[in-house]
Amino acid sequence: MPHAKGHPLFKHNSFRIRLALWFGGLSLFTLLSVGIYAGWLTATQIKVTAGEAVHANAMAAAELLGANLYEREMDIALVSQAPHFVRGDLSDPDVLSSLDRRLDMRNEFAWLGVVDAEGTVIQATNNMLVGQSVAQRPWFIAGLQGVYSGDVHEALLLAKLLPNPHADEPLRFIDFAAPIHNREGKLVGVVAAHAHWNWVTETVQAVANRREHASDSEVLIVSSTGNVLYPQALAGVSRLPDNLPHNKHYSIVTWDDGRDYLTSQVTVDARSNSNFGWRIVVRQPLENALAPIYAMYSRFFILALIAVLLFSLLAWRLAQTISKPIEQLAAAARCIKLNTSAPRYPTDTSLSEVAQLSSAMQSMTESLLTRERELELLNQTLEQQVLQRTEALAAANKLLEHLATIDPLTGTNNRRRFDEKLEDCARMGKRTGRGFSILLLDADHFKKVNDNYGHPVGDAVLQQIATLITNNTRTTDFVARYGGEEFVVILPDAPSETEVRTVAEKIRTAIEGTPFPSVGHMTMSIGSSTWHPNDSSTTQVIQRADEALYTAKASGRNRVVAYGQQ
């Protein structure tokens, strides 16, 4: 029995494997395509539903808050027109009784009082601030002119006199005021009220909590400048995003905490003379809104995986009925090819085409086996002879090419190969008009290396220098040993003076900064020149580079000198 890994059943390109993979892949593609499209439609609808719910929350909260603010403003306006107010005697006990009744009826009020025309508090609930001057307060100044509603603020005097049920938050209030005129129409004072800020926040939060999808939604009150007024945890920390559109019921925006939210904003219309510019903003984390679609995706992927497995098993069983006799024929063919044992052909197949193929193979096998063995022996002999001669010829050609073009010590191109390359570059330059540059490099004080350390060390130094030059040139550059301790580099494709100097300095710096075993440090003098199309021969560019190299040597060595810049 063949090893499991070599059995056709386990080969990745077998018919049954391919059919199972095709069925599984096709079913997976179909299910994923349908699932992704259905998920996209569902996610879109969920976003619309959640977005509209968020907008409905914001709209309901804004409408209720606007109505309540307007109602409180009208309430103060009606108080200012009550008979015992218009009589003009602000110290009348009936005035205080009226204020106390209002305070008992409206628990949103923290303080109510009447102030004379000069700004002195005449009477007030719980006798707070009585006798004090409020002439500079904005609500008093505005209340002299007409019915007034003021933005949220902290009242330091009242904060000291009133209990604070929320110790972690400062007491904040909203002002309402209206002028008091006597029966003759003369202004005699102002009636004012401070409403708790908590009344505002509880109003909008109660609306949001009564509506659907509010469990993970957050209600914010935002000022006209975009600063968050409520909740307190975000006040002074978070701002309304600047890119929130005003012409949409809702949108998906990224807030300053980096998270995406379904967000809706509605302006509070208090229908009053004093427009606060407040906006009710309701936001819901996008991941919470899409949580149902994520759960649906998880269940869908599990069902898709089960379906793929079932389809694959079905395809496997179908392919097995077809592939088994074919695999038996393939096994018989392998036996014939390898001549390991007598081939066995399928006998119980129900496929007529396979039965005909099996019969033909059996009749053909007997006539081919003998002739195939003879041909195989002859071919083996001929192939072996051809292979031996081909390998010997290839090795000889490779050795000849190596000896003809490669410097045996450094492994770089030799002088002969350099001369050929130089002529090629010159011919190419004359055709294209694009010149080239060369670098002529000479190891400084190399003779001392041979004299002091011997030629083997000198040869090792040259080999290391050749490696450094090769590693610090471009892939298009040509490096060759020019002779002795001299090397040459061809820089093709008309490099600029800056590029030439950059390559030369890179080589010089690499050699200067690299330690050499037994020797320590070496330096390199480099001369460069550029080939001109009017040069009569390539020796001229060599001569110019040599003159530049001589100047580098005479100038103290370990430097790069370009011809014409001596």
Q: Output the pLDDT for position 3.
A: 46
Is 330 part of any domain? no
Between CA 448 and CA 461 the distance in angstroms is 12
Highest mean predicted confidence (pLDDT) among 83-97, 151-165, 505-519: 505-519
Catalytic residue among 73, 218, 327, 485: 485
Of 173, 200, 227, which marks where a domain is finished? Answer: 200
Sorting pLDDT into bands at 50, 70 and 90, what band is 460?
very high
**154 within a domain of the structure (yes/no):** yes
Crossing angle for the helix pair 497-512 and 455-471, nearest 10 degrees?
140
Residue 101 counted as domain residue: yes
How many domains is the chain partitioned into structurally?
2
67: pLDDT strictly greater than 50: yes
Residue 350 forms part of a structural domain: no
Supply the mean pLDDT for the chain: 82
Residues 81-95, mean pLDDT to the nearest whole number: 90
Q: Is the peptide bond before 245 cis (omega within 30 degrees of 0)?
A: no
For 2-31, what is each residue's pLDDT tens digit? 444 445 444 555 666 776 677 667 766 776
Please give the structure tokens belonging to residue 277.
Answer: 């510019």
Q: Where would I find the H helices in 472-538?
A: 497-512
Strands (E) across 419-565 are located at 437-443, 478-483, 486-491, 515-516, 520-521, 524-530, 560-562
Output the CA–CA distances (angstroms, integers) from residue 532 to 219, 427, 446, in the order listed: 79, 12, 32
- Does residue 166 sit within a domain? yes
Q: Are strands 524-530 and 560-562 parallel, antiparallel or unpaired?
A: parallel
Domain boundary among 159, 177, 200: 200
Q: Do the Cβ atoms of 538 and 422 come closer than 8 Å?
A: yes
- pLDDT at position 9 is 46
Verify whether residue 485 is a known catalytic residue.
yes
d(CA 58, CA 249): 10
CB 155 within 8 A of CB 132: no
pLDDT confidence of residue 462: 96
> Could you tell me if residue 21 is inside a domain?
no
Do the domain assignments include residue 255? Answer: no
Residue 122 falls inside a structural domain: yes
- Write down the pTM of the prediction: 0.48
Q: What's the pLDDT at 449?
A: 95
Give the pair of three-digit tokens for residue 332. 């018989």
**CATH number of the domain residue 111 falls in:** 3.30.450.20
Parent domain of 86:
75-200
